[in-house]
Structure 1
Amino acid sequence: MTLKDRDKKHLWHPLTQHKTHPDALAITKAKGCVLTDEDGNTYIDAIASWYTCMYGHCHEYITSQVSKQMQELDQVVFSGFTHEPAIKLSEALIKILPENQNKLFFSDNGSTAVEIGIKMALQYHFNRGEKRNVLIAFEDGFHGDTFGAMSVSGLSVYNGPFEDFFLDVKRIPVPNGKNLQDILSQLQDIIKHNQVAGFVYEPLVQGAASMRMHDAKGLDSILKLCKAHHIITVADEVMTGFGKTGKYFASLHMETKPDIMCLSKALTGGLLPMALTTCSQAIYDAFYSKDMSKGLFHGHTYSANPLACTAALASIELLQTEAIQNNIKSIIAYHKDFGNTIKNHPKVKSIRQTGVIFALDLNLDMQRYGNLRDKLFSFFMDNGVFLRPLGNTIYIQAPYIITKKQLDKVYQVIESALKIV
């Protein structure tokens, strides 16, 4: 019996309606930018397995460092204990984070990193004796699947059954270079009529919203207005963090830095699950008290797992190497060339790029192509490229180690797909 057949007996996959998509592709090996299935077929992983394996799969340096660590210390509770991998990671990460970030809180995944960021923002004001219970978020944002993260997300296709249980959230449009004054006016009105605790946002790129990209100067103005009203700013960099926007973090593109940052995905190079919520000293100080009730009562069994910390430290070391930084610059240039080549295609409505993130929208009637996403996905996989379209949007977010030859194949397969839709 194949792995695919065995899978169907007991497994329930994420973001899957099994009635219409009963089969899961069984992957048996991954190396570099290539996935191999149980039949020996290979696929270029052009989205780094949901933006995690940015240094390629099974990178020798990351796996060797974790292998050494697992012979010394595999797991220990992080409440009341500490260990060198967590300490070394904190020291390395603080050096590349925005200069106002000073404290790190560990968890397990991106959704919980955001959940903790929201709790920090709400409890910050509570601890100071202020009642602030409203959050602000961008329209069509996506921040995760836990209740706080769902509350600030704006994609009802994910959240519909749970909306009656959400936190109080007011939404504003993303800045596009033309609508900033309207946004600031709307934001001022929200602040005037509500007790606003925090603003939760994806900086520069909204991933699940079909890689919607927005204006850095506009976002900076929004952040400045929030700061002026003592609203805690929470940057969800789960997707954008660790080099994808051309800087170590998307927040470095703005003058105004967030009070809190949420990190995961590429944090450990895709090897192990882990997340971090970082914050400024001022946020931490609001919880620092002899009063136990003012502490942040949130914890995970595997918080700061030594193996995951070691993978993260190795990944950060790789990120800062000249080789990876040069690769990032090359990918950015290759995407620009591809964009210039394809932007005038009659079936391409628009293109956009931030750092190594490239997206194009198809100029097609979606009612006519109701299952367009599935058709495109099947075509890409049949041609040896793993791309996961979002509606009529095709995007690329490949590992930093991808070769020019591999990228050219990705581009060629996308161009070929335009002929069959």
Structure 2
Amino acid sequence: MTPSPIWHPFTQHGLGEPIPRVSHAEGAVLYTDDGRRIVDGISSWWVTTHGHCHPRIMAAIAEQTTKLDQIIFAGWTHEPAETLARGLTAIMPPELTRVFFSDSGSTSVEVALKMALGFWANHGSARDRILVMEHSYHGDTIGAMSVGARGAFNASYAPLLFDVSTIPFPVTGGEQATLDALEQACRAAPAALIVEPLILGAGGMLVYPAWVLAEMRAICARHDVLFVADEVMTGWGRTGTLLACEQAGIVPDILCLSKGLTGGAVPLAVTMAREAIFEAHLSTDRARMFFHSSSYTANPIACAAANANLAIWREEPVLGRIADVSARQGDRLASLAALPNVRHARQIGTIIAIDLVDPAGSGYLSHLGPRLLAHFLAHDLLVRPLGNTVYLMPPYCITDADLDRLYESIADAADMASRL
């Protein structure tokens, strides 16, 4: 067989690492062409919530394919999108009255940034600075990279990125420094603050407390700074509640959602906004409209999948399943935390993470990363460490037996790392 022409994301092909070929999936398990059974410990990059190929979602997709596949959404509409928009406004905070469709987490962030800047521009204000949090990650398009941490992810593209103001991550014991920095930055009248609520994902699964999130929201409100919550990863139950913001008792001005929006089945994203954001763009002047779209905005098949996901949330005990997975992980995490070379064991909802000691240096490019990845693949597990940080974020249907396999393999990996 000739080599594949595929250029894979976040893959250094020069390392020659094996790339398994998956044939089908069910629940929390992937199956490969060569007959392997792979436990999906990270929900296939954080998207799969109820399980792969969930029957209700698959049925909704199949039914929609016989009705309408795609239609321009500029000046046109369709039932799946209308149903989804109403369903979202019913399940999300009532203050978020408007739903703008896009196709990925990165683009939902791009939309949010453009909404924020458009809000101030249409009010005749020159507020155009964006505030971000240290170590944050919001995607790989240009705007999303600009509001993410600068480093290995985007160093080559620095000439394309716009300047932002950064507040420090609220480390334990240093929370007030973060709040003071935000207060100071807000005095300069920026346009918006964008944050990943409660946990920073690709930045290392860094967790901070809900009271800090609440205080950040309050500071922004006092200074009339728009508050953007990127819940692309944290939404749909990952942190134990439908939205992470719930745990802080806050509602953002703009909310980004994707990944679990369709249960992880097909790409779709939304950016939800308060009515004031919409009204700032509402005019008889066409130059004040919101200038953003993509060819597949509100794709009917993707919207049908999302509607099935909402039905599952309405009609099934999803939060109970989430609480169960969280509790089962908590019991196992305690054993990992006791291992000698494990540091900073942490959990929020269904997400757990640990850091393995790496004398050569920590972070995304830690030399442990490729070795850990190879270890998990050799044990038929989909676990993709962030350098020396190992984390789990499984589908909510995962069994005890498969959880045991994951945790036993992480313990073995910790032992392996200690001997390197």
Aligned to 1:295: 289
Amino acid at match of 1:11: I
**Alpha-carbon deviation of 1:419?**
2.3
Residues 30-45 of structure 1 correspond to what in structure 2 (within 5 A)?
A: 30-45=25-40
> Aligned-pair distance for 1:321?
4.0
SS at match of 1:44: strand
Instruction: Tell me how far apart the structure 2 counterparts of residues 212 and 81 of structure 1 sit (CA, whole Å).
Output: 42
| Aligned position for 1:121 | 116
Equivalent residue number for residue 419 of structure 1: 415
Give matches, 1:216-365, under 5 Å. 216-365=210-359
CA distance in structure 2 between the partners assigned to 1:50 and 1:340 by the alignment:
24
2:237 partner SS: coil
Q: Distance in 1 between matches of 2:17 and 2:339?
A: 35
Q: Does 1:389 align with 2:391?
A: no
Secondary structure in structure 1 of the residue aligned to 2:192: strand
Q: Taking structure 1 as reference, are residues 378 and 320 closer, same or farther at Cα in structure 2, changes over 3 Å only?
A: farther
- Indicate the SS of the match to 1:13: coil
- Which residue of structure 1 lines up, in the alignment, with residue 22 of structure 2? 27
In structure 1, the partner of 2:85 is: 90
Alignment partners' CA distance in 2, 1:406 and 1:212: 25
Q: Secondary structure of 2:191's partner?
A: strand
Work out whether residues 136 and 200 of structure 2, in 8 Å CA contact, stay in contact via their aligned partners in 1: yes
SS of residue in 1 equivalent to 2:53: coil
1:71-82 counterparts in 2 under 5 A?
Answer: 71-82=66-77
Q: Which structure 1 residue ranges, 5 or more long, are not aligned?
A: none
Whether the 8 Å CA contact 1:366–1:392 is kept in 2: the answer is no
CA distance in 2, matches of 1:352, 1:234: 25
- Kept in 2, the 8 Å contact 1:210–1:393? The answer is yes
List per-residue Cα deviations over 1:287-337 (Å, max 9, x = no partner): 111111111010111111110001011112223444432221111101111
In the alignment, is the contact (CA less than 8 A) between 2:358 and 2:366 conserved in 1? no
Structure 1 residues 130 and 259: CA distance shift in structure 2, 3 A:
same
User: CA contact under 8 A between 2:102 and 2:270: conserved in structure 1?
Assistant: yes
**CA distance in structure 2 between the aligned counterparts of 1:58 and 1:366, rounded to whole angstroms:** 41
Which whole-Å CA distance do the structure 2 matches of 1:364 and 1:19 have between them? 23
Query: In structure 2, the residue corresponding to 1:352 is in which secondary structure?
Result: strand
The question of whether the paired residues in 2 share the 8 Å contact of 1:232 and 1:259 is answered with: yes
Residue 274 of structure 1: how far off its partner (Å):
1.0
Q: Flag the 1:76–1:408 CA change in 2: closer, same or farther, 3 A.
A: same
Structure 2 counterpart of 1:214: 208
The CA distance in 1 between the partners of 2:309 and 2:366, in whole Å, is 40
Q: Which runs of 4+ in 1 moved over 4 A?
A: 367-370
User: Is 1:198–2:192 an aligned residue pair?
Assistant: yes
Q: For the residues of structure 1 that align with 2:260 and 2:199, how far apart are their CA atoms? A: 16
d(CA) in 1 for partners of 2:375 and 2:18?
Answer: 16
Number of residue pairs matched?
Answer: 415
Deviation at 1:168, TM superposition (A): 2.4
Q: In structure 2, the residue corresponding to 1:156 is in which secondary structure?
A: coil
Superposition RMSD in Å: 1.6
Q: Secondary structure at the match of 2:127?
A: coil
How far has the Cα of 1:230 moved from its partner? 1.1
3-state SS of 2:246 partner: helix
Matched, 1:61 2:59: no
The CA distance in 2 between the partners of 1:46 and 1:211, in whole Å, is 15
Q: Name the CA distance, whole Å, in 1 between partners of 2:319 and 2:213.
A: 26
Aligned residue number for residue 175 of structure 1: 170
Q: Which runs of 5+ in 2 are unaligned?
A: none
Distance 2:94 2:276 in 1: 13
Is the Cα–Cα contact under 8 Å of residues 168 and 181 in structure 2 kept in the other structure? no
Contact 1:353–1:359 (CA<8 Å) still a contact in 2? yes
**1:156 aligned to 136, 151, 159, which one?**
151
Aligned-residue offset at 1:159: 1.1
Structure 2 residue aligned with 1:372: 368
Q: Is 2:189–2:223's contact at 8 Å kept on the other side of the alignment? A: no
Do 1:90 and 1:104's aligned partners in 2 also have CA atoms closer than 8 Å? yes
Match of 2:9 in 1: 14
User: Shift in Å at residue 100 of structure 1?
Assistant: 1.3
SS at the partner of 2:394?
coil
* Counterpart residue identity of residue 202, structure 1: E
